[in-house]
A and B are shown apart, each in its own frame.
Chain A
């Protein structure tokens, strides 16, 4: 019997994934529960275990930089090593999509299918060569009979590319799958989410004192304070802990705060789960843990999750304030600037105080200005006073 291995859907918003590696070769026997392949999606790698016992008969997609839509059949497992693989037709794949349609946005199918169906005339050897060279057939001009793309057309195109590369003033660097995921997500966000921004200046006097006091025992950072108070305040403003998936507004029972961390070749957002029920010391330990893991690239699926509310801090670079892009399916992100001494008016007098600018980016589809404003006001009050 032939069993299909599909590109798994590892998160609510995952539309496609990249195969990083196969841990078994064609013909190998694999037990249910053994790791079969590795997938990259939402900026991290996941090891995927086999759901079946059997022989890995056919790998349809080797590791590559091409994105594969979720539920696409990527390999076949059979009971016997010499069994014929009964490849299922596209229609079955479509049915699967419909069955699981609840969690898959219809957008991708609508946009992608017409392109897939359009078959470009190319000779078998040209088709193979173009694939090997990574040149899409759609950009090659065919000079064969009835415009068929032949081997010489592929070679000519690759020659043109080479000579262009020699003359041009720039170098083309690979657009990695990791960066493509970031690009897709952020482009989607800016194109589809009506952002608006609310800024507020937080006075840091009390927090600084408390931080110094607490840090005698264990080093606590401003970020820890911010996460702690933000989580506590979100409890009273549940819309900030929402997500929009498939035209549903989902309110979550736990408050998981994402922390944007810049790494070597991009950005990742590990999550501090259930933050509203944790002490500031606990939050601090968790934060240290995920930052270390992020630098060592050892973050697990558990560490990643789907963040709703994200905190992004660029204060360490002296950035005074900035506006962040909302990371879907979340609806809010908080951009935090540097702590600086500024002149402030206190009791009618100008004084010097430590300040920190905070800018919220909110999704106007579900959060209005009054709601967001109240949240920011409350957060500011609590954070500055360290009191509810």
Chain B
């Protein structure tokens, strides 16, 4: 199978959906002429023009507002928030409007809005451009939260997100855009709410998503050499959450490590760990372990930045600690 980058996979998904559905259009800062801060929308403006690809003013509130209005009136907008760090400026409209309109209008209005954004650390961009804020969004009922880690998943999940009649926050990772992976040329989609076992194992379950999947798989390779056979689950979508896959794995391994880049306190892992406790208590052989980001604003220094988010070694050490 051909190999393309995460960036190209996303670009293909957008292209295919724009061609497939006349109501699909993109809006965001610098996405048209410039092709997007990370180049995901490269060449789309040249191909499809102003009607389909719109540059917006620097106003996250306006971008989300345009998306909500268009979605309510029959369009299928894909809007981009350049950095998830800026999403707070549009959060009022996301949480109080996008997430609730379909419910409050008794289902009479649809909200086929996709909000593309990217997050995560790794480029030494400092505290305003490196955060992982998925837990904020997970706390809002009515939102779907998708966080792909591979080019294949990125393309398949973006297509499904665009076609979904509910608001989806699609969070990419800035350190994944250049990663390559197999992506078929033919059409495919991936359902939301289906986790993927990226590596099978029997000794410990590593639950992760987004860039931490790459780290977890590397850690699993090292652990393999030391005789520890880790199973690595890529959640792919945090909401809806695939508890079936998680439960099945825990019944086999009895031990769980959650690897997440976001800050530990009240993070995604806190919710996951609690759900596991509620649903898999009798199958646990050790307390659920979290390997998470430090509870600090992301440092600008690349040395400190590495210390603030989980590294491969941390996962290896964590797994050994839980296996003993």
Contacts and interface: CB of A to CB of B under 8 A. Distances in A.
Contacts, number: 29
A124 B283 contact: yes
Contacts of A145: 286, 324
A35 to B, nearest CB: 32
A127 to B, nearest CB: 8
Interface string B253-282: 010000000000000000000000000011
Interface in A118-165: 123-126, 128, 143-145, 148, 150-152
Contacts of B281: 124
Interface string B263-307: 000000000000000000111111000000000000000000000
Nearest to A126: B285
A152 B324 CA distance: 11
A123 B324 contact: no
A148 B285 CA distance: 9
A143 B282 CA distance: 19
Contacts of A128: 282
A150 B324 CA distance: 10
Nearest to B250: A125
B324 A125 contact: no
Contacts of B284: 123-125
Size category of the B interface is under 10
A332 B324 CA distance: 60
Interface in B78-136: none
A211 B324 CA distance: 79
Interface in B2-30: none
A128 B280 CA distance: 12
Contacts of A150: 285-286, 324
A151 B282 contact: no
A143 B285 CA distance: 12
Contacts of A148: 286
A151 B324 contact: no
A150 B285 CA distance: 6
A132 to B, nearest CB: 11
B282 A124 contact: yes
Interface in A326-369: none
Contacts of B324: 143-145, 150
Contacts of B254: 123, 125, 151
A216 B324 CA distance: 83
Contacts of B283: 124-125
Given A124-B282, A152-B285, 20 more contacts: A123-B254, A123-B285, A123-B286, A124-B281, A124-B285, A125-B254, A125-B283, A125-B284, A126-B285, A128-B282, A143-B324, A144-B285, A144-B286, A145-B286, A145-B324, A150-B285, A150-B286, A150-B324, A151-B254, A151-B285
18 contacts: A123-B254, A123-B284, A123-B286, A124-B284, A124-B285, A125-B254, A125-B282, A125-B283, A125-B284, A125-B285, A126-B285, A128-B282, A144-B285, A144-B324, A145-B324, A150-B324, A151-B285, A152-B285
4 A-B pairs with the lowest CB-CB distances in the bound complex, closest first: A123-B285, A151-B285, A125-B285, A125-B254
